[in-house]
């Protein structure tokens, strides 16, 4: 039996709000191709000059245990782009802006979060998923580091949809999307920055992706229609995926006894984690995390956080209680994959250029 007796009375209002948001925000597609030339073979490796000392410091790091001092060192080196994917109801972009500020406050370079053309903190779930998949290819080709995806609400659904685009489940070809030109580059291949060889956008992967509050009433929208049997099946186009579930979430429809509330799953090639958050967390406001980075005691707790270690946040200020478990878990994964991607790039560069 559903523990939420007010749910039937809330359904019409929730459905209307989501439909109105979905029907008013569809973007226009820009079809004119960009003429910007792609990077030449191995140019990214040749241009990534950090100095031996900094490279050795990064290579010596343990990705599972990254301290605040390590973050300061990482910020001097190669940094992957983080793509924040926001929910669809008007005004919720401010929630992901808050999370972007949190990441910057914890030490992540701001330029590696904001859209390089518009300066926006996050991407709309009403953008086209193949366009965002093409944007991932553009970032990877220029940085030599695979981007990360963090999705909230409808943005969480879109994170999964982008992974399926990269897997070729939605289309056999994806055009590289250039954000500076605001257009596709009239090509469906990139020069792989680590090998120097041409390869299709289809088949590319991201290092890390996550989704909080994804599902529920968002599925009534045309841009989110999908079979319930495949909704939470994660393809092999990501190394690690974490799905966050608020124990009682009337928007995502996660609550005890809901037979449709399935968990994320995938092949053994993907590290998939399903994480439950307390019922006290709010679907809309959980990512409001800006203040967490400004409190030294809270920052220390977050930087020391280890997934699965059952840390107790009740000793922290009240304002942190509805956000910190999610923020700390995501931050741990971001630090981990930031380190791994930087290490891969440095090792590949040393081998390719004969510089041990």
pLDDT in tens, 52-83: 999 999 999 999 999 999 999 999 999 999 99
Residue 35 — very low, low, confident or very high, per pLDDT cuts 50/70/90?
low
Distances (CA, A) of 186 to 134, 175, 178, 310: 11, 6, 10, 49
Q: Please tell me the predicted confidence (pLDDT) of residue 230.
A: 73
Residue 338 near residue 80 (C-beta atoms within 8 A): yes
Residue 127 near residue 328 (C-beta atoms within 8 A): no
DSSP 111: G
Give the helix/strand (H/E) hosting 349: helix 324-352
CB count within 10 Å of CB 276 equals 13
Q: Please tell me the predicted confidence (pLDDT) of residue 272.
A: 97
Q: What is the pTM of this model?
A: 0.87
Q: Please tell me the predicted confidence (pLDDT) of residue 60.
A: 98
Q: Please tell me the predicted confidence (pLDDT) of residue 257.
A: 65
Expressed in angstroms, the distance from the first to the final Cα of the chain is 63
> Higher confidence at residue 62 or residue 1?
62
Q: Please tell me the predicted confidence (pLDDT) of residue 140.
A: 97
Residue 244 near residue 208 (C-beta atoms within 8 A): no
- What pairs with residue 242 in β-bridges? 210, 273
E strand residue ranges, the chain: 82-85, 122-123, 148-152, 177-178, 183-184, 189-191, 198-200, 206-212, 233-234, 238-246, 265-266, 271-277
Core vs surface per residue 51-84: b (16+ CB within 10 A) or e: eeeebebbeebebeebeeebbebbeebbbbbbbb
Nearest to 183 by CA among 114, 84, 117: 117
**Alpha-carbon span 291 to 327, nearest angstrom:** 11
DSSP 202: T
Q: Of 16-25, 132-141, 297-306, which gets the smallest average pLDDT?
A: 16-25
Q: What percent of the chain has pLDDT over 70?
A: 81
Distances (CA, A) of 331 to 71, 73, 103, 323, 328: 11, 16, 8, 12, 5
DSSP 158: H
**Strand arrangement of the beta sheet that strand 271-277 belongs to:** 122-123, 82-85, 148-152, 206-212, 238-246, 271-277
């Amino acid at each position: 039996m559903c523990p939420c007796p007010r749910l039937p009375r809330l359904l019409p209002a929730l459905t209307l709000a989501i439909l109105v948001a979905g029907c008013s925000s569809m973007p226009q597609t820009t079809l004119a191709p960009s003429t910007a030339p792609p990077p030449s073979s191995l140019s990214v490796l040749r241009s990534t000059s950090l100095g031996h000392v900094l490279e050795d410091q990064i290579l010596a790091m343990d990705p599972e245990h990254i301290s605040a001092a390590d973050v300061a060192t990482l910020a001097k080196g190669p940094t992957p782009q983080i793509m924040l994917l926001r929910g669809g109801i008007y005004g919720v972009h401010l929630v992901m802006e808050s999370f972007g500020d949190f990441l910057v406050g914890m030490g992540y370079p701001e330029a590696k979060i904001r859209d390089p053309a518009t300066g926006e903190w996050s991407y709309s779930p009403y953008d086209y998923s193949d366009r965002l998949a093409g944007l991932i290819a553009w970032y990877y080709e220029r940085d030599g580091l695979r981007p990360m995806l963090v999705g909230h609400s409808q943005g969480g659904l879109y994170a999964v949809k982008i992974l399926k685009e990269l897997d070729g489940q939605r289309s056999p070809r994806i055009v590289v999307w250039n954000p500076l030109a605001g257009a596709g580059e009239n090509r469906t291949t990139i020069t792989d920055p680590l090998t120097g060889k041409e390869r299709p956008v289809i088949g590319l992967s991201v290092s890390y992706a996550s989704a909080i509050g994804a599902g529920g009433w968002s599925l009534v929208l045309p841009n989110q229609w999908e079979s319930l049997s495949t909704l939470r099946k994660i393809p092999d186009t990501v190394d690690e995926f974490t799905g966050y579930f608020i124990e009682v979430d009337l928007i995502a429809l996660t609550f005890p006894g809901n037979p449709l509330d399935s968990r994320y799953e995938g092949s053994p090639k993907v590290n998939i984690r399903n994480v439950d958050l307390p019922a006290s967390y709010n679907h809309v406001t959980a990512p409001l995390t800006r203040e967490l980075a400004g409190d030294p005691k809270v920052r220390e707790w977050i930087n020391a956080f280890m997934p699965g270690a059952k840390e107790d946040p009740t000793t922290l200020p009240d304002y942190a209680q509805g956000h910190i478990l999610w923020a700390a878990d995501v931050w741990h994964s971001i630090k981990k994959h930031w380190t791994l991607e930087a290490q891969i790039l440095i090792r590949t560069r040393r081998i390719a250029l004969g510089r041990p």
